[in-house]
Amino acid sequence: MSELPRILIVDDSRMVRASLSRHLKGIYEVREEGDGEAAWQTLVLDHTISAVISDLQMPVLDGFGLLERVRACKLARLREIPFVLISGEDDQEFLDKAEKLGVSDFINKGINAVELKTRLAHLLQFASTRQSLEEAKAQQVQDPDTGLFTRKYIELQAAQALSHAFRHHGEASVMVIGFDDYPALIDQVGEAKAAEMGVKFARLVAGKIRREDCLGHFAPGRFAIVSPGTAPGSCISFADRVRRAVADAVITAGGKRLSLTMSVGVASVPADRVISAGSLMDLACNRMEAAMAAGGNRTDSGDLALNAPVLPLSLNQALELLRDNRPEAVTRQLGRLGQQLLPMLRLLQQELGVELPLDELEKRLADREQQHKPD
């Protein structure tokens, strides 16, 4: 296959295509199409095309239509491809429309070979530089081997979550999760296999967290989750579910069952009085290490349960805490939560034909809510 950059020339005039091809001969490989629709099919199928030179007036699909379709494409290589329109028009409305659609440059049909080659060279160099920057950025955000977010990116997300929490008087929590005695796991299965198991675990957890949460590498055998707007109680419940799932899982290597457990450290603002994302991450990590030192397979959240402000729970959060056998976190808000359930209970009474002491229940819930209001 040719190693020359491939240029797609799209024009319904065979003479124009031949003229442009002669200008590019020896420096570029040229592919030709006579209308926009055929060019579109070629672009989708031919991954080697580096740039497009297209006429404006063509049958089936004109240059504007082709440009619009390319820039709206889901394929990144087409959305970013250099696209040059051929036109002799100096109409400002035409130029504005083309620029709005994302044209890269304009040429006229009488352009000389030197100018055409120079313009293409600049466009391709710019595209190459932009692609290199995007790739470098992606490597900073994601580990190229696992696809998981890097520690640097996780720390940036923690900083954003902390800033938002401080501005809006909200909460932000961080969990650091690690395999207990990770060096022993490496001795058992090897470093590559241990890392593979860690990635599988992380991907499993990724399917269980919210879209706004962020999961990534923290250190070998350790992972971090940044959870904006989340109360520490919810993180502690989630951490306990993760631990139990790992401890109960049947995991084998080399025909032998492995005894795997994990420990979790949880830190949260404003309950933990820290002022930086780095301090919050370090605190969660220190608590995870304390949990490991205490025997492993446990969650350490410090004094969060005592220090955390009492924020209103939603019904979904209350049900989640009850499922995790943590009724003490719901009890103080039972009056308010029960009042929210009264319309559902009245509907159940009506639909099922049963008599419930709803008036008495409503009175007692109101009294309870009054008793537990903050001073």
**Whether residues 289 and 179 fall in one domain:** yes
**Whether residues 217 and 268 fall in one domain:** yes
Residue 328: CB atoms within 10 Å: 10
**Whether residues 119 and 242 fall in one domain:** no
**Whether residues 238 and 263 fall in one domain:** yes
**Whether residues 216 and 156 fall in one domain:** yes
**Whether residues 127 and 223 fall in one domain:** no
pLDDT tens-digit readout, 269-324: 988 988 888 999 999 999 999 999 999 999 999 887 555 445 567 788 778 767 76
Distance between CA atoms of residues 235 and 214, nearest Å: 13
**In CATH, what number is assigned to the domain containing residue 272?**
3.30.70.270
Domain boundary among 294, 312, 328: 328
Q: Determine the pLDDT at residue 152.
A: 87
**Whether residues 190 and 53 fall in one domain:** no
Domain with 362, as residue range(s), is 334-371
Tokens 């009850």 — which residue? 322
Q: Determine the pLDDT at residue 1.
A: 46
Q: Determine the pLDDT at residue 94.
A: 82
Distance between CA atoms of residues 67 and 85, nearest Å: 9
**Whether residues 129 and 174 fall in one domain:** no
Please check whether residue 274 lies inside any domain of the structure.
yes
**Whether residues 167 and 293 fall in one domain:** yes
Closest CA to 261 of 188, 199, 176, 178: 178
Non-local CB neighbours of 53 within 8 Å, separated by 6+ positions: 7, 8, 9, 10, 20, 84, 86, 107
**In CATH, what number is assigned to the domain containing residue 22?**
3.40.50.2300
Tally of structural domains, the chain:
3
Residue ranges of the chain whose pLDDT lies below 70: 1-2, 88-90, 136-140, 145, 305-312, 321, 324-326, 328-329, 372-375
Contact between 245 and 236 under an 8 Å Cβ cutoff? The reply is: no
Q: Determine the pLDDT at residue 253.
A: 76
Residue 110: CB atoms within 10 Å: 7
Please check whether residue 146 lies inside any domain of the structure.
no
Please check whether residue 144 lies inside any domain of the structure.
no
Omega into 309 within 30° of 0, i.e. cis?
A: no
Contact between 142 and 150 under an 8 Å Cβ cutoff? The reply is: yes
Q: Determine the pLDDT at residue 136.
A: 66
Please check whether residue 1 lies inside any domain of the structure.
no
Buried b (16+ CB within 10 A) or exposed e, 232-254: bbbbbbbbbebbeebeeeeeebe
Contact between 228 and 165 under an 8 Å Cβ cutoff? The reply is: yes
Q: Determine the pLDDT at residue 332.
A: 75
Q: Among positive and negative, which fits the CA dihedral 159, 164, 166, 169?
A: negative
Distance between CA atoms of residues 94 and 92, nearest Å: 5
Q: Determine the pLDDT at residue 375.
A: 45
Tokens standing for residue 202: 């992380």
**Whether residues 31 and 17 fall in one domain:** yes
Domain boundary among 99, 114, 139: 139
103 φ, ψ (degrees, to nearest 5): -65, 145
Tokens standing for residue 352: 């099922």
**Whether residues 292 and 228 fall in one domain:** yes
Please check whether residue 278 lies inside any domain of the structure.
yes
Domain boundary among 99, 118, 139: 139
Please check whether residue 36 lies inside any domain of the structure.
yes
Q: Determine the pLDDT at residue 204.
A: 85
**Whether residues 263 and 285 fall in one domain:** yes
